[in-house]
Amino acid sequence: MKRTTTKLADGRELIYFDRDGGAVRDAVDRRLLEPVDSRPELRLDLATGDWVTIASHRQGRVHHPPTDACPLCPSWDGNHSEIPAADYDVAVFENRFPSLAGRVGRCEVVCFTPEHGASFADLTEDRARLVLDAWTDRTENLSSLPGVEQVYCFENRGAEIGVTLAHPHGQVYAFPFVPPRTAKMVAVADTHRRVTGGNLFEDLLAEARAAVSRVVLAGEHWTAFVPYAARWPYEVHLYPHRRVPDLTRLTEAERAEFPGIYLELLRRFDRLFHREDGAPATPTPYISAWHQAPKTGGQELALHLELFTVRRSAGKLKFLAGVESGMDSFVNDVAPEAAARRLREVAS
């Protein structure tokens, strides 16, 4: 992998990741851009103890632009995008409309491919591995920044999720605090250690592998399974068999096996739903989220990926209404064992 760092016209960082060690990345951003003026503010919700980010500047971000004006496509005559090069493998840049910035963290955009109409599932294993290398690079670099507590790599896919740019991409957030979901995991994992003497995530993986009915895919180094108490209609957790805190600690063998298993999971998600006439439904919307240990109090946590969709059938979505949004109490319409069985049935 070759890594090339450059600057955009407003001073934001842009990083190219290439499979070809001879790739030259000297294209100049010729846009006339005003400096980024983002002043997100962190406020503590005294009723819950959770941090809330106020980022009103994001109201002006790009929203569903036409294909020929996509800011994540390579630049070409007439369209100068966020990526000055005429082509790229994987590109990462600082978000122009960040939720977190400066002293309160950092947000980056990860462009998986120059192909506007593609998806992560369309990538080759080599390209998916390059994305994994980019995630690992950003985890290592952002974790070293002063004040950063946790690095979160994720992808939102589909208009149903709220995606405003159709080009296949993900994001990386460098949180200056431990997010609520991670804080809850830390507390539960610490209690599990005190009560049982074991690690919660090692035990969850062992229990899932023993409960064959919830295993979707298994390799030498990774297992994908539906959790016992899944919140979402179709939710899969992907764990390495060896507990590590974050992406930087994976071995070469673990990195080599990941792309094949992950791509197969994404392709199965896209085969889950069909319309009444038998034709495939629109591409399955999903969120793919890497959970990594934070700097503070994360000794018991384990790296894992959570992949889930808000779609519960071809024409129905799982909305977070009064019970879920108001009380953080989930109700799942699909039994985890049935979801796992369906995901096994749609194997290619």
pLDDT of residue 60: 65
Contact yes or no for 293/186 (Cβ under 8 A): no
User: What does DSSP assign to residue 177?
Assistant: S
Asked if the model's pLDDT at residue 90 lies above 70, the reply is: yes
Amino acid at 208: A
Please state, in angstroms and rounded to a whole number, the distance separating the CA atoms of residues 161 and 195: 38
Strand partners, 44: 51
User: What does DSSP assign to residue 68?
Assistant: G
For residue 131, which of 306, 308, 310, 288 has the smallest C-alpha distance? 288
Asked if the model's pLDDT at residue 22 lies above 90, the reply is: yes
- Identify the three-state secondary structure at position 126: helix
Q: What is the mean pLDDT of residues 93-108?
A: 93
- Identify the three-state secondary structure at position 124: coil
Asked if the model's pLDDT at residue 93 lies above 70, the reply is: yes
Tokens representing residue 177 in the block: 């605090």
Kind plus residue range of the DSSP H or E element containing 316: strand 316-317
Q: What is the DSSP string of 186-251?
A: HHHHHHHHHHHSS-HHHHHHHHHHH-GGGEEEE-SSEEEE--TT-SSSEEEEEEESS--SSGGG--
Burial of 290 (0-12, 13-18, 19+ CB in 10 A): buried
Contact yes or no for 90/112 (Cβ under 8 A): yes
pLDDT of residue 257: 98
Over residues 136-149, the pLDDT tens digits come to 999 999 999 999 99
Residues 6+ apart with CB under 8 A from 102: 38, 39
Over residues 244-291, the pLDDT tens digits come to 999 999 999 999 999 999 999 999 999 999 877 777 788 999 999 999
Over residues 251-262, the pLDDT tens digits come to 999 999 999 999
Residue 143 C-alpha from the chain's centroid: 17
Please state, in angstroms and rounded to a whole number, the distance separating the CA atoms of residues 89 and 98: 23
Q: Any idea what the Cα angle at residue 291 is, between residues 240 and 142, rounded to 5°?
A: 110
Helix spans in the chain (H):
125-143, 180-196, 200-210, 252-270, 322-327, 336-345
Instruction: Write phi, then psi, for 309 (nearest 5 degrees).
Output: -120, 150
Radius of gyration over every alpha carbon of the chain, rounded to an integer in angstroms: 20
Contact yes or no for 75/83 (Cβ under 8 A): yes
Annotated active-site positions, please? 169
For the chain, helix, strand, coil in percent to 5 are: 30, 25, 45
Over residues 107-129, the pLDDT tens digits come to 999 999 999 999 999 999 999 99
Asked if the model's pLDDT at residue 211 lies above 70, the reply is: yes
pLDDT of residue 348: 65
Mean predicted lDDT score pLDDT of the chain: 95
Residues 6+ apart with CB under 8 A from 89: 16, 17, 18, 19, 20, 23, 113, 127, 130
pTM, whole model, 2 decimals? 0.96
Strand partners, 169: 111
Contact yes or no for 151/172 (Cβ under 8 A): yes
Please state, in angstroms and rounded to a whole number, the distance separating the CA atoms of residues 131 and 124: 11
- For 161, other C-beta atoms within 10 Å of its C-beta total 14
Strand partners, 128: none
Over residues 33-65, the pLDDT tens digits come to 988 888 899 999 999 999 999 988 787 677 678
